[in-house]
Structure formats: C-alpha cells, structure tokens
C-alpha cells in the first residue's frame, strides 16, 4: 500500500517568509509525528498527534512553528517568518497507534531558507 | 533533552567484511529501533526490538536490545555495496513519551 507522502519535496524560500509543509500519513495510522533533520545530524522531534487528543508540542523550537492535523489524517507544519537556521529536512512519520508501534517515515521536505 | 550516543560516526569497510555499530544512553528505553537512510530518502526501518535481551535478525542484519535497556547494537555481516547509507538507532522512552529519540547516525561506506 501507499507509504507516508510529503510535499513539497524541496522548498526554497526567502528569510522572513512563511512556509507550509504537508504530510499524508499511511491510511489507518492514528499517530503522526514531525521531526527535523539538520545536515549530518540525527532526527529531532518536533510534534506528535494521536487521534483526537491534544498534540504533544514539546519539541517545537519556537512559537514560529505550528502544526495542524485535520480530520485525523493530513497534517500541515507551518513555519512563520522563516530564518536561515530553519533550513533542514522536515520528516513526517506515522504509526498505527503510539506506544510500541513502528513509525514509518516519509521522504521528507528539504527546506532551504536564503 | 535525551541523547543517544551512537558510534562510530563513520566507517569505511571492504565489501564482504562484517560491521558493528552501537548506541548507548543514560536513560532506559522501552523500544530500540534501527533505521537506514539513503540520500534524499526518509529513514527506513530495519529492525525493531521490544524486550530487554532480545536478539533479532533480518537477513544479514542482527540487532540486540541490551539487558540493561540502555544500549543496543547492530551487526551487518558480509557487507555489500548497497549497504551504503546512514544507520540510525532510535529509542522510545519508558513512560508517556511517544516520540523517538535518535542517535546521530553512522555513515557506512563499502569499498569494492
């Protein structure tokens, strides 16, 4: 079946602009995660959604970052007033449920802030 | 935040050699996972470990969940060129945390 998909695959923007990144999880997966991967680094947790529960936003680096998940499926990560240090690969993952379930990753969105 | 110490950072090996990499932490994990990431792709799950002491194989790959729940290793036997990539360990903490904590990765290069 289809895996996790993300769009766009690449995004170049100017400093100060807002960007929206989209994630389509695997159908039927109730848990959705956003991670950020800087060049040569491991993945850094950003935010987690589980069903209709309030999201765990503990990993968001600043209030310029926000995310929504509509209808328990598609999620959008928004970065307002982008800064150069926001440049990274933003990865989305989903799992059937949360605890103990394997997370499957999308291909990521490569964001470059000029 | 929580950290996983993954080593080595990079490895250059000859085709056919065996490879070993490991992760350690000061925290106790419920789950250990090993992912492989190739350029331009997201991480792909290789092996998942759910019980302390568990030893699991997937083809030429073998991984173990340390008995203390604070470490894990991944072995690759008889390496081939397509093993090239970055290997990440990841752990899910005990308790309410659901997100994965990742190691910094091991860049593997296989020389023909």
pLDDT tens digits along A75-88: 999 999 999 999 99
Contact call for B50 and A100, based on CB within 8 A? yes
B30, B35, B43 ranked by CB distance to A100: nearest: B30
pLDDT tens string B46-102: 999 989 999 999 999 999 999 999 999 999 999 999 999 999 999 987 665 577 889
Phi/psi-derived region of residue A86, left when phi > 0, alpha when psi is between -120 and 50, beta in every other case: alpha
What integer pLDDT is reported at residue B99 of this predicted model? 77
Contact call for A56 and B43, based on CB within 8 A? no
What integer pLDDT is reported at residue A92 of this predicted model? 96
Q: In sequence order, what E strands does A38-87 have?
A: 43-50, 65-69, 75-79
Contact call for B101 and A45, based on CB within 8 A? yes
pLDDT tens string B25-46: 988 888 899 999 998 889 999 9
CB atoms within 10 A of CB B42: 22
Evaluate the omega torsion of the peptide bond into residue B11 and state whether it is cis, within 30 degrees of 0: no
What integer pLDDT is reported at residue B95 of this predicted model? 62
What integer pLDDT is reported at residue B32 of this predicted model? 92
Mutate to test the interface with B, among A103, A104, A107, A109 (most CBs of B within 10 A): A103
What integer pLDDT is reported at residue A40 of this predicted model? 74
Q: Which residues pair with B68 in a beta bridge?
A: none
A33, A91, A105 ranked by CB distance to B99: nearest: A33
**Contacts of A53 by beta carbon, 8 Å cutoff, 6+ apart:** none
**Contacts of A56 by beta carbon, 8 Å cutoff, 6+ apart:** A47, A48, A50, B98, B99
pLDDT tens string A14-73: 999 999 999 999 998 989 999 999 887 788 999 999 888 889 999 999 999 999 998 879
Question: How far apart are alpha carbons A58 and A48 in whole angstroms?
Answer: 9
């Amino acid at each position: 079946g289809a895996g996790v998909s993300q769009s766009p695959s690449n995004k170049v923007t100017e400093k100060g602009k807002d960007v929206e990144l989209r994630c389509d999880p695997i159908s039927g997966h109730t848990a959705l995660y956003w991670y950020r991967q800087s060049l040569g680094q491991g993945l850094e947790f950003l935010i987690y959604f589980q069903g209709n529960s309030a999201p765990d936003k503990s990993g968001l680096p600043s209030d310029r970052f926000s995310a929504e998940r509509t209808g328990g499926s598609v999620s959008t990560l928004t970065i307002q007033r982008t800064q150069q240090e926001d440049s990274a690969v933003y990865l989305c993952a989903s799992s059937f449920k949360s605890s103990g379930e394997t997370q499957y990753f999308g291909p990521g969105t490569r964001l470059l802030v000029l | 935040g929580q950290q996983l110490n993954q080593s080595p950072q990079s490895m250059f090996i000859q085709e056919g050699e065996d490879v070993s990499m490991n992760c350690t932490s000061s925290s106790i994990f419920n789950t250990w996972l090993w992912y492989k990431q190739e350029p331009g792709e997201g991480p792909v799950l290789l092996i998942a470990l759910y019980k302390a002491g568990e030893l699991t194989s997937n083809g030429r790959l073998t991984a173990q969940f340390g008995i203390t729940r604070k470490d894990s290793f991944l072995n690759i036997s008889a390496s081939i060129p397509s093993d090239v990539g970055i290997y990440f360990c990841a752990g899910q903490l005990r308790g309410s945390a659901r997100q994965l904590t990742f190691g910094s990765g091991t860049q593997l290069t296989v020389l023909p």
